[in-house]
Amino acid sequence: MTSRVPLLVCLALCTGLSTIPADAYNILLATPIASKSLHYLFTAIGENLVNANHTVTLLTSFPPSLSHPNFRSLNVLGEVPQPKYNVFEMRDITKAREKFTQEIFFIGGIMWENEEVKEVWNKRNSFDAFLTPAYINEICMPFLLNYTGHYMIVSTPGVEYSAISMAGNWLPPSVVPSMTLPYDGDMTFFERTVNVIAIPLLYFHKKFTYFVQMQRLLEQKFPEIEPIGSYYSRARLTLINGHPALDSPVPLLPSQVEIGTINAKPAKPLPNDLEEFMASSGAHGVIYFSIGSIAESADIPLRAKLEFVEAFRRLPQKVVWKYEGSDLELPPNVLTRAWLPQQDILGHPKTRLFISHCGNLGTQEAKYHGVPVLAVPVAFDQPRNAARMVRKKLALSLEWQTLTAQAIVDAVNELVNDTTYGARLRTISAVLQDQKESPGARAVRWIEYVIRHHGAPHLLYPGKRLHFLQYVSADVLLFLAVCCYVVYRILRSAVVVAVGAWRGRLKETKKKKL
């Protein structure tokens, strides 16, 4: 009996150790050109990776938001402060594009002078995988020069046409809208027409304007850099910040994996003072107001701020407002903080409504926690996100230019009192939380899988080698059309000759009879 004890101990130890990954990988994440929400998205991916015993380095332009011994956050700006701007001045699309282009070249110019970035670049082949967003961060492409690891991309807006097509999966524009349009998969004839025009326009702008500018910038430091667009075709995995309950369901390749709501988490207990305020709201509940991390409520135009204050004064609900200033006379039902635990508030049973700018992560968190949204979009992708939620009857939207206290009160009352909004969102919430595998675990599993199987070449879609005209067999159809035309001409000529000969013989026969 005693001789079995060591054996049992060994078996127990082996069983206990079997949960530790056999391979711990070194992974590089890069998103230096990003909003703070995109930084949070990549941090969430990194958090799941380090929790699975991997080592992660994140190139960003923001302070670290995760502390873990296996996680290193490197600010590519060094001591240079992050460029700041009032997002409310970016509502004009021309100004927004100009400002964003300036930021890209500003950060791009500084990044490759950073000694820590150079050190990471020199050691790039020590990383088993390299992940970037599918957009805007082309400044990171030099990491792929002679890179022996595995490149992967993240489609940050979710299911989006250009990111999905990078793997050769040319989805029909009749059901997948361009990221520039406020449509969902259920489009009218007019919307489908606009979408068919918008998709190639965006492609040509990116290829012949933006990529050309980035190519010139990178060639100053890396003259051997290949055409930027060619690097995306090397991606072995696409992580999509989407889910059928968030977007419309579409056919995806095995190498295209949805990880939507990877940032969403169950609510935790609130600090005592905040919990007391929430609990004191009674049956009316609480409205949570935040315009996210890309903007500050203090930057809201004064007229609009006063309209919100007046609206809150008229409402029976308590209001928790992420507000960074102290310049307003607030009614007693309003509590402000410069920082608030957003998901813990959204997941609180007293929360009735979320007044939001409709950033991508914020809308996902609202759906995850099942909270109706009053959208006040400011700029960038926010109007599109808001419009898509309104189309699905999950939100109402107000414009800053025409914002009034009465419009706010009316919208709040409709969203709170019409229970169909909450019912739809609770259905979506139940679907998002009913996943056998969490989005984070799914992302980790597929990253590990691609590394473990040396890039998983068996997952590469043959359509990736084809351009669009080949993919839809336009060249084949043209060839067949030419063949049909040639056959038609031959047959037509043969018929003409035959008919001519027959008529000739007929005339000769008639002459002989005469």
Query: 208-217, 292-301, 366-375 — which is least confidently predicted?
Result: 292-301
Does residue 53 lie in a domain region?
Answer: yes
User: Which pLDDT belongs to residue 15?
Assistant: 42
CATH of the domain at 194: 3.40.50
Q: Are residues 343 and 232 in the same domain?
A: no
Give the end of a domain, one of 433, 448, 474: 433
4 lies in some domain: no
Read off the pLDDT of residues 409-454 as tens digits, 9 standing for 90 and up. Answer: 999 999 999 999 999 999 999 999 999 999 999 999 999 999 999 9
Number of domains in the chain: 2
pLDDT at residue number 7:
47
* Average pLDDT value for residue range 34-55: 94
Same structural domain for residues 199 and 341? no
d(CA 31, CA 25): 19
Which pLDDT belongs to residue 22? 53
Walk across the sheet containing 150-155 and list its strands: 71-75, 55-60, 26-30, 129-133, 150-155, 237-240, 256-258
Closest residue by Cα to residue 159 from 146, 177, 135: 177
Q: What per-residue confidence (pLDDT) applies to 23?
A: 80
- Considering the chain, what is the average pLDDT of its residues? 89
| pLDDT exceeds cutoff 70 at 513 | no
Residue 13 has pLDDT above 50, yes or no: no
Nearest residue to 181 via CA among 193, 169, 171, 168: 193
Q: Is there a domain that residue 223 lies in? A: yes
Which domain, by its residues, includes 276? 272-433
d(CA 250, CA 243): 10
Residue 472 lies in a domain: no
Instruction: Name the band, by pLDDT with cuts 50, 70 and 90, for residue 305.
Output: very high
**Res. 100 pLDDT band, cuts 50 70 90:** confident
Instruction: State whether 408 and 445 are in the same domain.
Output: no
Residues 379 and 417 in one domain: yes
pLDDT score at 18: 38
For residue 115, pLDDT beyond 70: yes
Q: Is residue 26 part of a domain?
A: yes
> pLDDT-based confidence at 94, cuts 50/70/90?
low
Rounded Cα gap, residues 7 and 365, in angstroms: 49
Residue 301 lies in a domain: yes
Element (H, E) at 352: strand 351-356
CB 10 within 8 Å of CB 39: no
Residue 267 lies in a domain: no
Pair 311, 194 in one domain: no
Pair 389, 461 in one domain? no
Judge contact between 233 and 166, C-beta under 8 A: yes
Section 485-490 average pLDDT: 95
How far is it, in rounded angstroms, from Cα 131 to Cα 446? 13
392 — pLDDT class (breaks 50, 70, 90): very high
Q: Are residues 245 and 147 in the same domain?
A: yes
Does residue 89 fall inside a structural domain?
yes
Residues 251 and 321 in one domain: no
Can you give 150-182 as a three-state secondary structure string?
EEEEEECCCCCHHHHHCCCCCCCCCCCCCCCCC
Q: Are residues 448 and 345 in the same domain?
A: no
136: tokens are 């805007």
Can you give the CATH number for the domain in which 315 is found? 3.40.50.2000
- Judge if 254 and 301 occupy the same domain: no
Rounded Cα distance, 132 and 143, in Å: 11
Residue 142, both tokens: 């030099």
d(CA 493, CA 407): 74
Least confident of 138-142, 156-160, 283-287: 156-160
As beta bridge partners, residue 153 has: 132, 238
Determine the pLDDT at residue 297. Answer: 82
Q: Quote the pTM value.
A: 0.89
Query: Do residues 401 and 459 both lie within one domain?
Result: no
Model confidence at 60, pLDDT cuts 50, 70, 90, reads very high
Encode pLDDT of 154-200 as tens digits.
999 888 888 888 888 988 899 989 888 888 888 999 999 999 999 99
**Contact of 335 with 320, CB cutoff 8 Å:** yes
Q: Is 504 helix (H, G, I), strand (E, B) or coil?
A: helix
Claim to verify: residue 287 and residue 387 sit in the same structural domain: yes
